[in-house]
Amino acid sequence: MTFDERYFDIGRLDRLSYGQTLVHRLDPRAKVIATFLFLLTVVSYPKYEIVALAPLFLYPVLLMTLGEIPVRFIMRKVLFVSPFAVFIGIFNPLLDPGTFAVLPGVHVSAGWISFASILLKFALTISAALLLIATTSFPGVCHALRRLGFPALFVSQLLFLYRYLFVLAEEAMRIIRARDMRSFGRRGTGMRVFGRVVGILFLRTVDRAERVYYAMLSRGFAGDIPSLRRSRMAPADLMFLLLMAVFLSGLRFFPVTEGIGRMAQEMFG
């Protein structure tokens, strides 16, 4: 995926976060905490675990359906995103020669099992992070972080970055277009030109920051970005967190999947 496509995906995620569903209305803090609990639970499974990870998919599926987030969009992002984990994981089947009896008579190399486990964890963690943004909005997450005790300076960084991301991306696109019109094929895309082009972008950025600063001063800026939305943790939010904790710890400490499988075996066999 090229950078431009990823950039347009930011806009798409941003629009999705304007939704007004049950999931969108939950307090951002509750969702941030729940996402972290979920991620910790997912990565805490040992490296050969596959089946116990299956019930965890309930969380992203519920968020997607209740939050009316298009499934394909999230799936496409999960598929095309950062191949690092896959690249490192693919060595497992080559390097882990142990075998693992799946069914009577069927043996699978342990490396493939741990690779599959990495892939499942990858899908779960990435989709949880994307769904947090798609159902909460970036400013929502930032203000939640602020109220969870993150430094104000860092949070205002994040808000500024997000606000000007789109403006500067347009600026960069104009520069790229200008460069492409003056160069043929790959010519003109070397590092020397790049240094100058980015230097120009930098100077324009600094000038813009100056203008932004004066505009903000005249609107009463005193070093902090306050949020007008005063949200409180409602009973529904606490209920959501409680359910999440019960769901995750239940799955983590009891072999739920195997239990269901054994019940099914007894019923039908």
Partner 1 sequence: MHMADALLSPAVGTTLWAGSVAVGGYASRRLRERIDDRAIPLMGVLGAFIFAAQMINFTIPGTGSSGHLGGGMILAIFLGPHAGFLVMASVLTVQALFFADGGLLALGCNIWNLGIYPCYLAYPLLYKPLAGGSRSLGRILAASLASAAAALQLGAFSVVVETLLSGKSELPFGAFALLMQPIHLAIGIVEGLVTAGVIGYVQGARPELLEGMAAARPLGAEVSLKKVVATFAVLAILTGGALSWFASTHPDGLEWSVRKVTAGLGLKEAEEGIAPVLKGIQEWTALLPDYRFKPKGGRPGKAAPWPEREAGTSLAGIIGAAIVLGVILLIGFGIRSCRRRES
Interface of this chain with partner 1, residues 105 to 124, rule: CB under 8 A:
110-111, 114, 117-119, 121-122
> Contacting partner 1 (CB under 8 A), which of 18, 20, 72, 103?
103
* Interacting residues of 125 by C-beta distance below 8 A, sequence separation 6+: 39, 42, 43
Token readout for 130 is: 């994307």
The rounded distance, in Å, linking the Cα atoms of 235 and 247 is 18
Q: Which stretch binds partner 1 (CB under 8 A): 23-31, 41-49, 228-236, 237-245?
A: 41-49
What is the smallest separation between the CB atom of 238 and partner 1, expressed in angstroms? 22
> Contacting partner 1 (CB under 8 A), which of 48, 231, 233, 245?
48
Indicate whether 208 belongs to the interface with partner 1 (CB under 8 A): yes
Question: How many residues lie near partner 1 (CB under 8 A)?
Answer: 134
Q: Which residue is it, tokens 């072999």?
A: 255
What is the smallest separation between the CB atom of 234 and partner 1, expressed in angstroms? 22
Nearer to partner 1, 181 or 232 (CB): 181
Q: Which stretch binds partner 1 (CB under 8 A): 23-31, 99-107, 230-238, 240-248?
A: 99-107
Q: For the segment 248-267, give every residue that binds partner 1 (CB under 8 A).
A: 252-253, 255-262, 264-265
Indicate whether 9 belongs to the interface with partner 1 (CB under 8 A): yes
Indicate whether 183 belongs to the interface with partner 1 (CB under 8 A): no
* Interacting residues of 158 by C-beta distance below 8 A, sequence separation 6+: 138, 142, 145
3-class state of residue 35 by DSSP: helix
Q: For the segment 223-242, give every residue that binds partner 1 (CB under 8 A).
A: 223
The rounded distance, in Å, linking the Cα atoms of 126 and 57 is 12
Nearest CA to 128 out of 46, 45, 52, 43 is that of 43
Continuous H helices in the chain: 3-16, 22-25, 28-44, 58-66, 71-80, 84-89, 91-95, 110-136, 138-147, 152-182, 191-217, 235-253, 256-268
What interhelical angle do 3-16 and 152-182 show, nearest 10?
Answer: 140
What is the smallest separation between the CB atom of 2 and partner 1, expressed in angstroms? 9
Nearer to partner 1, 168 or 233 (CB): 168
Nearest CA to 132 out of 80, 79, 76, 59 is that of 59
Indicate whether 216 belongs to the interface with partner 1 (CB under 8 A): yes
Indicate whether 247 belongs to the interface with partner 1 (CB under 8 A): no
Indicate whether 146 belongs to the interface with partner 1 (CB under 8 A): no
What is the smallest separation between the CB atom of 231 and partner 1, expressed in angstroms? 19
> Contacting partner 1 (CB under 8 A), which of 19, 73, 147, 205?
205
Indicate whether 221 belongs to the interface with partner 1 (CB under 8 A): yes
Indicate whether 200 belongs to the interface with partner 1 (CB under 8 A): yes
Pairing outcome for strands 99-103 and 106-109: antiparallel
